[in-house]
């Protein structure tokens, strides 16, 4: 199966603040907010939702097709993708733009403050869903690109995951309703779920009744997979260290895609996704963890006391 991963490819500048944001922000002064955080740790990483999901799915032995628009500065990222044998057939260079850039500051509570320059990502709508796709995702991307690609998946009868992430504020309640009604699956974290419900006026049951599964992650508390008939409770896989939460959601989604591609039930797919998140959080950045499929299966068996086919 070939999974088309529609979303951003970006350069991430990741900074770690060795304190707590909540101690530096005065609640009664947020209307005149002016804060500065000293960040002794700084890294430049390859990232973006499409790139991250594709990298993780490739580790599991999948065949991801990341699709996105990038800028004139993409050469180093292209070389990285080639090194890891990730398909670049659907990566389009916009010569007059820069590749999307994310500036992420994380505190000791794993809270994050992000500034994002979309750059070439705003041209995502210049590409169309290609033939030969059996599964897709709509992850944060240019607004028009997300709308058009969801429509194209739906019209072609291609099942897809709606994964709005940090792109959710771009859409009204009516637009979000249309995404959900077109999608086969919806994947959000608990904060994004509250935003989705608030904007649409729907309940969790309303969303779950319209898709095959609503997947909601709850950080260290695991995740819930809501289907029209049952809720699956997925435990959080134990991480050897809590180094960097950036990209954990993308790693989790790669695990979901792998399970869907192999026809696994939600109990198994959810646990594969959970373990993917654990691998990600143990290393700084979003594409620096490594494992073989055999190593992954061995750790999965130790963690969950059973193997997967």
**pLDDT score for 169:** 94
Question: CATH number of 3-21+41-304: 3.30.465.10, 3.30.230.10, 3.30.300.160, 3.40.1190.20?
Answer: 3.40.1190.20
State the pTM of this model: 0.92
Q: What is the DSSP string of the chain?
A: --EEEES--EEEEEEE-SS-GGGT--GGGGGG-------SEEEEEEE-HHHHHHHHHHHTT--EEEEEEE-TT-HHHHHHHHHTT---TTEEE-TTSPPEEEEEEE-TTS-EEEEEE-GGGGGGGGS-PPTT-SEEEE-S--HHHHHHHHHHHHHHT--EEE--GGGGGGS-HHHHHHHHHH-SEEEEEHHHHHHHHHHH---HHHHHTTSSEEEEE-GGG-EEEE-SS-EEEEPPPPPS-----TTHHHHHHHHHHHHHHTT--HHHHHHHHHHHHHHHHTSSSSS-----HHHHHHHHHHHHSS---
Q: What is the pLDDT of residues 276-285, one digit of tens each?
A: 999 999 998 8
Which residues of the chain fall short of a pLDDT of 70?
1
> What is the residue extent of each domain of the chain?
3-21+41-304
């Amino acid at each position: 199966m070939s999974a088309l991963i529609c979303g951003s490819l970006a350069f991430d500048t990741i900074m770690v603040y060795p304190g707590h944001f909540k101690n530096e922000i005065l609640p009664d002064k947020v209307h005149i907010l002016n804060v500065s955080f000293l960040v002794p740790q700084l890294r430049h990483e390859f990232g973006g939702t499409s790139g991250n999901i594709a990298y993780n799915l490739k580790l599991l032995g999948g065949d991801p097709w990341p699709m996105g628009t990038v800028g004139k500065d993409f050469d180093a990222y292209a070389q990285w993708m080639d090194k890891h044998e990730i398909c670049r057939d659907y990566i389009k260079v916009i010569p007059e733009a820069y590749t999307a850039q994310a500036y992420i500051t994380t505190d000791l509570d794993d809270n994050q403050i992000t500034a994002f320059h979309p750059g070439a990502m705003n041209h995502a709508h210049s590409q169309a869903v290609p033939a030969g796709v059996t599964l897709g995702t709509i992850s944060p991307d240019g607004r028009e690109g997300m709308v058009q690609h969801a429509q194209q998946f739906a019209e072609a009868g291609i099942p897809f995951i709606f994964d709005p992430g940090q792109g959710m504020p771009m859409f009204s309640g009516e637009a979000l309703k249309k995404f959900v009604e077109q999608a086969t699956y919806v994947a959000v974290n608990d904060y994004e779920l509250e935003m989705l419900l608030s904007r649409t006026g729907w309940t969790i049951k309303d969303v779950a009744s319209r898709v095959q599964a609503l997947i909601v992650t709850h950080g260290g508390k695991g995740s819930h997979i809501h289907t029209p008939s049952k809720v699956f409770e997925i435990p959080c896989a134990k991480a050897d260290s809590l180094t960097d939460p950036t990209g954990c959601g993308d790693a989790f989604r790669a695990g979901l895609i792998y399970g869907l591609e192999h026809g696994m039930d939600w109990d198994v797919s959810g646990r594969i996704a959970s373990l993917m998140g654990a691998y990600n959080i143990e290393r700084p950045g979003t594409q620096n963890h490594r494992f073989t499929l055999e190593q992954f299966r061995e750790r999965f068996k130790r963690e969950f006391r059973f193997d997967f086919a």
